[in-house]
Amino acid sequence: MSTIRFHVPGTPVGKGRPKVSTRGGKFARMYTPAKTASYEGLIALAAQTAMAGRAPLTGPADVTVHMVLPVPTSWSKKKQAAALAGQVFPTKKPDADNVVKALFDGMNGVVWVDDVQACDIVVSKRYGATPGVQVVVQEIQGALFAA
């Protein structure tokens, strides 16, 4: 059974919506926002290190994502302590699903061939002293592949 574990340091970033620019007023061009592209690059680097030269997975995968967000410094010491103790949950941006989209796109071609292979996904979002994202991808064994 193949298991890949890696950590993406820093505050999690949700995948931004594609932007559109025009050139000469006639030609529209879509592009990925710089912040999203940079974060996806960081994900790919962390994943590539974890893969240690292995080929991307080709079958179905089980994915666990644990996001840790920084506690807002504007909060009182009491509320910060409660957040670190797991009594206050992060209900602000980034949205968990947008972070997962950025993670999966950054993992394409590195951990797996394509993110359509993610079949079972567990996601958690909490506050913590050290922000980052912990990712565990496990190949699902014994699965019959769809043709």
Report the CATH number that the domain containing residue 44 is assigned in CATH: 3.30.1330.70
Q: What is the pLDDT of residue 15?
A: 85
The verdict on residue 41 lying in a domain is yes
Among residues 121, 120, 79, which one has the least CA distance to residue 99?
Answer: 121
The verdict on residue 67 lying in a domain is yes
Phi, psi of 7 (to 5 degrees): -120, 130
Q: What is the pLDDT of residue 147?
A: 47
The verdict on residue 70 lying in a domain is yes
The verdict on residue 146 lying in a domain is no
Nearest-angstrom CA–CA distance, 107 and 56? 9
**Measured on CA atoms in the order 131, 135, 37, 30, is the torsion positive or negative?**
negative
The predicted model scores a pTM of: 0.85
Total number of domains constituting the chain: 1
Query: Structural domain of residue 69, as residue ranges?
Result: 3-139
Q: What is the pLDDT of residue 120?
A: 95
Buried b (16+ CB within 10 A) or exposed e, 19-58: eeeeeeeeeeeeebeeebeebbebbbebbbebbeeeebbe
The verdict on residue 145 lying in a domain is no
Q: What is the pLDDT of residue 145?
A: 57
The verdict on residue 29 lying in a domain is yes
Per residue of the chain (147 residues), give pLDDT as tens: 689 999 999 999 988 777 777 777 777 777 677 888 889 999 999 999 999 999 999 999 999 999 999 999 999 999 999 999 999 999 999 999 999 999 999 999 999 999 999 999 999 999 999 999 999 999 998 756 554
The verdict on residue 144 lying in a domain is no
